[in-house]
Amino acid sequence: MIPAKFDYIKASSVSEAIGLLDKHGDEAKLLSGGHSLIPAMKLRLSRPEILIDISGISGMNSITEDGNEIVIGANCTHAAICNSDLINSDLNILAQTAKCIGDIQVRNRGTIGGSLAHADPAADYPAVVLACDANIVVEGKNGSRTIAATDFFLGIFTTSIAEDEIITTIRFPKVANGNYQKFFQSASRFAVVGVAVVKEGSGVKVGVTGVAGTPYRATAVENAYSGNSDAASHAIEGVEDELMSDHFADTTYRAHLAKVYVKKALEA
């Protein structure tokens, strides 16, 4: 459990971090909470030569209100999200989600930006950013751009962030009626299935993580929704061929759990 040798630079601004990323290319990696990257480095599955620590960049860990949006700095820890009054009142679904990530130590170190960038197929936030139609704001050497959550996740550990880009903030619309339901993997306590449901008027938005290699919007459920939970039977429509499988949940069981948890979230 000793990582390969690496250099370490602590960046003090976003532009400095971008400059360093640009300079070192794929030899470098950003370090935020380190709770996905460091374990991978200790197993020598990941061996960056340079770590650019962004955790000290000022302004990247604020939680603010901007009209009808809540703007969350990428460096906000899961604990900060759990404890934010603003999030608890106007984006409660995100606080619910953050509370079921890992344990206290993990929540005190791990960040929302790091989790989204890492794109673990069993991570929790992806379901919520999808269901909320959040926007992920990234900045690179060519300036900043906004990526819709639905365009963000491309596959297992793969996102649409470019190599020289860094997530700076995540912009969530306020959500009055939403909830997150999670079936925990018994060893890691990541999500075997995680379902976020946001209800708006007579409609519903459903984000699902853990089930397919890429987290997805369960549009078939959304289209079939008519105010009750019957639509849950459509939970895996469109991802039938991408279901994940392991010794805790094979594809049959995972598909079943997806339906059970969509139902649960629709009924909550």
Ligand X SMILES: Cc1cc2nc3c(=O)[nH]c(=O)nc-3n(C[C@H](O)[C@H](O)[C@H](O)COP(=O)(O)OP(=O)(O)OC[C@H]3O[C@@H](n4cnc5c(N)ncnc54)[C@H](O)[C@@H]3O)c2cc1C
Residues in contact with another protein by CB under 8 A are 1-2, 4-5, 43-44, 183, 186-188, 246-250, 253, 256-257, 260, 264
Cβ at position 203, least distance to ligand X in Å: 27
Cβ at position 47, least distance to another protein in Å: 10
User: For residue 6, with 0-12 CB atoms within 10 Å meaning exposed, 13-18 middle and 19 or more buried, which class applies?
Assistant: middle
**∠ at Cα 182 (263, 266), nearest 5°?**
25
Cβ at position 164, least distance to ligand X in Å: 10
Measured from the CB atom, the residue of 10 and 222 that comes closer to ligand X is: 10
Work out what residue 250 binds among ligand X, another protein, none; the CB cut-off runs from 5 to 8 Å by kind: another protein
Among 30, 94, 149, 197, binds ligand X (CB under 6 A): 30
- Which candidate, 211, 213, 199, places its Cα nearest to that of 260? 211
Query: What residues contact residue 2 under an 8 Å CB cut-off, 6+ apart?
Result: 42
Work out what residue 45 binds among another protein, ligand X, none; the CB cut-off runs from 5 to 8 Å by kind: none
Q: Please, what is the angle between helix 125-132 and helix 92-99, to 10°? A: 170
Residues 64-93 that bind ligand X (CB under 6 A): 74
Contact string 5-24 vs ligand X (x = CB under 6 A): --------------------
Q: Does 121 bind ligand X (CB under 6 A)?
A: no
The interface region with ligand X, picked from 29-37, 142-150, 172-180, 237-245 by CB under 6 A, is 29-37
Measured from the CB atom, the residue of 10 and 256 that comes closer to another protein is: 256
Cβ at position 224, least distance to another protein in Å: 20
Cβ at position 249, least distance to another protein in Å: 6
User: For residue 25, with 0-12 CB atoms within 10 Å meaning exposed, 13-18 middle and 19 or more buried, which class applies?
Assistant: exposed
Residue 26 is which amino acid? D
Residues contributing to the site for ligand X (CB under 6 A): 29-37, 39, 54, 74, 101-102, 106, 109-111, 113-115, 117-118, 120, 123-124, 161, 166-167, 189-190
